């Protein structure tokens, strides 16, 4: 599981940073990729990476400002041109359906796959046996959401040695125990699966927030996240400007990460006012409150390590 940053700028592109888009590469876990926001030029950015639009399974939009949305028609049609035939799910605020359907209708675009648009509200927006995604409303000029991706707990390692010691050969019963099912042997004795499984492996938690003023509610939403991705449009010297335009500073993002007890904070959505190394001041301000902070840049990626088995 890796976060790939396709665009890390705010408002408009610069020579150093394209507008916002983040890919969550889950090739190992699901054989797919998810995308969060799709600013103009995102399809061009992806061409400079090893990521493939054909593997795009879900696309989440935080809000409908152009720097998070205008690349969507190009990504949708390029995905088709790359030969993708699998279904695509799109999630975002009310208005996403009108934008997508209008763009595709007016341009007479052809998509060689089906898609579903989900206009989200707060709460669970997707869940299957592997992962759950929750949304929360933020505070921005227009409706804006944050998403929490929760990987579900996995069963612990099967204790093959203990089973073999009881004379049970590898086979279907091993699979039953791995699934957490108790089994009955031919002699009538019953084995509890919990006695033959190591401690379960906790799932990873990733929080990706859209544009927002600093909000206390995001502390609970980001609680114990392995990674929190938070906007840091401005430095402390522009805190009043950040509030005026419904954005956050790097130091405010660090405060949220610290209070939420997140493991890692990644700053993105950097104003074009900070170029040629000036953005390092944002990183410095954040690290004063939360040491494990990274400043994202275009084409940078962050690997999210698997957690060790829980023994609680």
* 169 & 268 share domain: no
Place of tokens 């430095």: 235
Q: What percent of the chain has pLDDT over 70?
A: 98
Cα–chain center distance at 62: 11
Which of 174, 196, 218 is a domain's end point? Answer: 196
On whether 140 is known to bind a ligand per the annotation, the reply is yes
* 85 & 165 share domain: no
* 141 & 186 share domain: no
* 112 & 240 share domain: yes
Pick the catalytic residue: 37, 67, 226, 298?
A: 67
**pLDDT class for 309, splitting at 50, 70, 90?**
low
Place of tokens 């904070």: 265
* 150 & 233 share domain: yes
On whether 68 is known to bind a ligand per the annotation, the reply is yes
* 188 & 268 share domain: no
Residue 88 main-chain phi, psi, to 5 deg: -120, 135
Which of 196, 219, 246 is a domain's end point? Answer: 196
On whether 67 is known to bind a ligand per the annotation, the reply is yes
Q: Structure pTM?
A: 0.89
**182 catalytically annotated:** no
* 51 & 84 share domain: yes
Q: What is the pLDDT of residues 172-206, one digit of tens each?
A: 888 888 777 788 887 888 888 888 877 778 899 99
* 171 & 62 share domain: no
Residue 311 has pLDDT above 50, yes or no: no
* 177 & 266 share domain: no
Tell me how far apart the terminal alpha carbons of the chain are, to the nearest angstrom: 25
Based on DSSP, count helices (H) and strands (E) in the chain, helices before strands.
9, 16
Residue 98 belongs to a domain: yes
Residue 312 belongs to a domain: no
Q: Which residues pair with 126 in a beta bridge?
A: 133
Residues 113, 83: contact at Cβ < 8 Å? no
What is the secondary structure of 212-274 as a DSSP string?
----THHHHHTTT-SEEEEE--B-GGGHHHHHHTT--BHHHHHHHHHHHT-S-EEEE-B-TTS
Residue 91 burial (C-beta neighbours within 10 Å; 0-12, 13-18, 19+): buried
On whether 269 is known to bind a ligand per the annotation, the reply is yes
Residue 311 belongs to a domain: no
Average pLDDT over residues 60-89: 97
Q: Name the strands in the sheet holding 21-26, side by side, starting at the edge strand that comes first in the sequence.
A: 115-119, 88-92, 56-60, 32-36, 21-26, 2-7, 301-303
Strand 145-151 relative to strand 123-127, pairing: unpaired
**pLDDT class for 166, splitting at 50, 70, 90?**
confident
> Which has the closest alpha carbon to 209: 255, 259, 248?
248
Residue 233 belongs to a domain: yes
Report pLDDT for 310.
54
Report pLDDT for 312.
41
Q: What is the CATH number of the domain that holds 138?
A: 3.60.15.10
Residue 310 belongs to a domain: no
Q: Which domain holds residue 219?
A: 2-154+201-303
Largest CA distance in the chain: 75
Residue 29 belongs to a domain: yes
3-state secondary structure 52-89: CHHHEEEEECCCCCHHHCCCHHHHHHHHHHCCCCCCEE
* 166 & 291 share domain: no
Residue 289 belongs to a domain: yes
Q: What is the pLDDT of residues 42-61, one digit of tens each?
A: 999 999 999 999 999 999 99
On whether 65 is known to bind a ligand per the annotation, the reply is yes
Give the side-chain half-sphere CA count within 13 A for 289.
20
Rounded to whole angstroms, what are the CA distances from 145 to 62, 97, 123?
5, 16, 11
Q: How many domains does the chain have?
A: 2
* 46 & 142 share domain: yes
* 207 & 103 share domain: yes
Residue 205 burial (C-beta neighbours within 10 Å; 0-12, 13-18, 19+): buried
Cα–chain center distance at 56: 13
Report pLDDT for 258.
98
């Amino acid at each position: 599981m890796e976060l790939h940053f396709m665009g890390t700028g705010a408002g408009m592109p610069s020579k150093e940073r394209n507008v916002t888009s983040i890919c969550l590469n889950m090739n190992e876990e699901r054989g797919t990729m998810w995308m969060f926001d799709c600013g103009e030029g995102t399809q061009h950015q992806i061409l400079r990476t090893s990521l493939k639009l054909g593997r795009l399974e879900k696309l989440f939009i935080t809000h409908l400002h152009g720097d998070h949305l205008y690349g969507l028609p190009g990504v949708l049609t390029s995905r088709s041109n790359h030969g993708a035939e699998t279904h695509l799910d799109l999630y975002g605020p009310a208005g996403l359906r009108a934008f997508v359907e209008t763009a595709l209708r007016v341009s007479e675009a052809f998509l060689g796959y089906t898609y579903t648009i989900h206009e989200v509200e707060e709460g669970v927006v997707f869940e299957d046996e592997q992962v759950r995604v929750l949304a929360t409303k933020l505070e921005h000029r227009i409706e804006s959401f944050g998403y929490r991706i929760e990987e579900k707990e996995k069963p612990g390692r099967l204790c093959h040695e203990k089973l073999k010691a009881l004379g049970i050969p590898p086979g279907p019963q091993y699979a039953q125990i791995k699934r957490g099912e108790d089994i009955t042997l031919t002699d009538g004795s019953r084995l509890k699966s919990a006695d033959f499984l190591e401690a379960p492996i906790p799932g990873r938690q990733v929080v990706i927030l859209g544009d927002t003023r600093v909000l206390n509610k995001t502390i609970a939403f980001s609680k114990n996240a392995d990674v929190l991705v938070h906007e840091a449009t401005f430095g402390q010297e522009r805190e009043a400007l950040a509030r005026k335009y419904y954005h956050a500073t790097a130091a405010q993002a660090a405060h949220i990460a610290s209070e939420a007890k997140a493991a890692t904070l990644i700053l993105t959505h950097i104003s074009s006012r900070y170029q040629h190394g000036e953005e390092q001041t944002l990183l410095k301000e954040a690290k004063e409150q939360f040491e494990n902070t990274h400043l994202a840049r275009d084409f940078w990626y962050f690997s999210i390590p698997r957690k060790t088995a829980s023994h609680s």
